[in-house]
Amino acid sequence: MRPESSTIPALRSTLLAGFLVCLTVNDAMADMSDQAIERRVSELLGQMTLEEKVGQMNQVHSEGPSAVDHLRHSIQSGNIGSILNLVDVGAVNELQRIAVEESRLGIPLMVGRDVIHGFKTVMPIPLGQAASWNPDIVREGARVAALEAATAGINWTFAPMIDISRDARWGRIAEGFGEDAYLVSEMAVAMVEGFQGQDLTAPGSIAACAKHFAGYGAVESGRDYATTNVSEYEMRNYYLRPFKAAVDAGVTTLMASFADINGVPATGNEFLMRQVLRDEWGFDGFVVSDWDSVRQLAIHGLTANDRDSALAAATAGVDMEMFGQSYLQHLPDLVEDGSIDIATINAMVANILRAKFRLGLFENPYTDTSGLPEIANEHALATVQKAALQSVVMLKNDHDTLPLSPEQLDSVAIIGPLADAPYEQLGTWIFDGDRELSVTPLQAIQDMLRKKVSVRYVRAMDTSRSRISEAFDEAVEVASDSDVVLLFLGEESILSGEAHSRADINLPGDQAELVRRVREAGKPVVAVIMAGRPLTLTNIVDQVDAILFAWHPGTMGGPAIADLLFGIESPSGKLPVTFPRMVGQIPIYYNQKNTGKPPSAETVIHIDDIDQHAPQTSFGMTAFHLDAGYTPLFAFGHGLSYGSFEYDNLRVENPEVRPGGMLRVSVDLANTGKAAADEVVQLYVRDLVGNVTRPIRELKGFRRVRVEPGETTAVDFELHTDDLAFYGRDHKLITELGDFHLWIGGSSETDLRAEFRIVE
């Protein structure tokens, strides 16, 4: 059945005839083993002309119903292997019909779209999802997104973005999972599994694309598209690890980074695409360029023109060109004149065909929406609300200001530009997100209180970037007449994401002044901050009693925030990235090196404490900033709760373990508070001596645990010695003998420590 397009004729039963020599359609559907797929790929390749092969390497952009007329001839001619940004299921099905019935070999299309954190129903931004420290909810959210995207004919998403980033200035930090390779890897695997499902051929399963390969998150000064300089040590130990995890999880495709990496842009980087990805990891999916990045090799200065760029990218191992058409225009001639071997082209096209076979597109290229769930169904909304709930991080809660009790309130002031902003709460990269589905915090709080408590709302600022106005006076007046003030602050969705980097990551506009003015009303002030990145909150942190950092929480952010404010649920999010005190500390991250002069509370000198004409000396000096110290404002893994958690009795069952063995660790976790709550228990390790210096701490495990008031539970971890491996001086993966420290606690700053050794 082919719904949504009455012009599509019935699928011919002989769709695969002409190139499946010994397999019938039914046989092909039944036998999808790797061996069978390779046989089918080989048979199809053997019938393709050079132009048809290059056509499979060409991805084009087209939108709207006019795409059918615009692309018809090129698809009939075999010059297109993939389309992107078409979200009209009728048009997609018609283009698939043209591809399988009117082109010579009947090869179906890959249909791509940036489905980053939801389709119509929107999850929190990926950085917010990482704050949940819950791979299960990330997996389920990706599944919801895949099912919704499939209704538009999409069979390929350009996600997950798994770039490690230690720089909050970078706009695209919003799209990733933070600064830690272990946490990012866990989330990457979960999202790949959610998009692709247990069966890639099943309705609603779409191919995932791990991006941007690799090192993109290290762009200089956080400027998008800028140069990156990442040592091979850093690349292998941090930036590549999430990609390896995604490959091991069966990700169908990877996308090359825009950035110049150590002098060779990723799109032309053979070290990444061939040595690491193919030779070392054995990846057999395909690599797509980023938008027009093949032609941009000439702009970088790596090549002289589009022809040379096509040669460089193909030689490096970029299988498909997104937009640009330099492959289509130049690869045939490059083969004919011997600049590139036909065997190289064959291998790249085989990677693309293999993915199409694995997706089952040859058997079922069409989208039947009748077999897919409704958009924004009950399960979808419940999933995104749970994700929002678990992603919110309570940064501070002085005097137990939260949770609020409606029974003890007569009036609540809701102030700020993001309290009732249905579009802004969706965040970046939501091309298809439906703002009409959004439930804002103002709506949710009004619904929860049901006129039992007076709710007075003042927007105060038109946007997060607005300057002081007479509306500030109204905000102060309303705050003065209320029992508590809820300030909804942050940055609009457009202020983060691709090409939206910021040099100043304070709250934009005059929000800090709004906080100061409202504080003067003398009432408890709770700040709820929605943003696409960590912000420097030093100028407001002491002006508010509590802070909930909600990221951009998605469609159901309002109900989730309301439940947290009024104690229906306890905050349980933990920071997946370090919050600096000021922008000059960047890059700042928890797993830094010790240095030869490690800082401590005893060695830090503040700039205001230096005497005039003090003598210059290096004696006793350590690695810190005179005006910021050496600690962040909020550490990686930090997050408060309405429970009160105490860690005790950390024990290592086998403190001496041999290579290949398993370390077993336990800790007692008690909730001594009055509220049931989830705690994210985190395990960190330090390798004290290595053949290269090792970080002061590295995350090696975490568990989300529900603990009732008065309950104590044992939390267990198992750690294999392979989990302690790192890339040494020769860039080989090794696990060394020696002494280790181990910590378990509620953040990277925990001091509950044990020791163990790896011995012969």
Residue-wise burial string across 559-590, b where 16 or more C-beta atoms lie within 10 A, e elsewhere:
bbbbbbbbeebbbbbbbbbbbbbbbebbebbb
DSSP conformation letters of 575-621:
-SSPBPSSGGG-S--TT-B--SS---TTT---GGGPPTTPPP--TT-
The two counts, helices (H) then strands (E), for the chain are 20, 26
Q: 322 in helix, strand or coil? A: strand
Residue 461 is classified by DSSP as S
- Identity of the residue numbered 582: M
Q: 517 in helix, strand or coil? A: helix
Beta bridge partners of 414: 457, 486
Beta bridge partners of 648: 668
C-alpha 433, offset from chain centre: 17
Instruction: Measure the CA–CA gap between 533 and 510, rounded to whole angstroms.
Output: 18
User: Is 290 an active-site residue?
Assistant: yes
C-alpha 245, offset from chain centre: 14
Beta bridge partners of 665: 652, 717
Of 152, 151, 130, the residue nearest 141 (C-alpha) = 130
Answer whether the bond into residue 214 is a cis peptide, omega within 30°: yes
- Contact call for residues 153 and 88 (beta carbons, < 8 A): yes
DSSP conformation letters of 47-66:
T--HHHHHHHTEEEE--STT
Residue 216 is classified by DSSP as G
292: tokens are: 């027009």
Length of the chain: 760
Instruction: Measure the CA–CA gap between 168 and 179, rounded to whole angstroms.
Output: 10
Answer whether the bond into residue 587 is a cis peptide, omega within 30°: yes
**Catalytic residue of the set 180, 290, 420, 434:** 290
Of 39, 44, 34, 94, the residue nearest 65 (C-alpha) = 94
Instruction: Measure the CA–CA gap between 64 and 737, rounded to whole angstroms.
Output: 60
What are the φ and ψ backbone dihedral angles of 255, each rounded to 5 degrees?
-120, 135
DSSP conformation letters of 464-511:
TTPPP-THHHHHHHHHHTSSEEEEEEE--GGGSSTT---S--SPSTTH
Report helix, strand and coil shares of the chain as percent, to nearest 5. 35, 20, 50
- Contact call for residues 580 and 588 (beta carbons, < 8 A): yes
225: tokens are: 């598209």
- Identity of the residue numbered 408: Q
492: tokens are: 């609009």
* CA-based R_g, the chain, Å: 27
Of 492, 479, 566, 477, the residue nearest 529 (C-alpha) = 492
Instruction: Measure the CA–CA gap between 378 and 360, rounded to whole angstroms.
Output: 29
- Contact call for residues 721 and 730 (beta carbons, < 8 A): no
Instruction: Measure the CA–CA gap between 281 and 317, rounded to whole angstroms.
Output: 14
User: What residues are labeled active site?
Assistant: 290
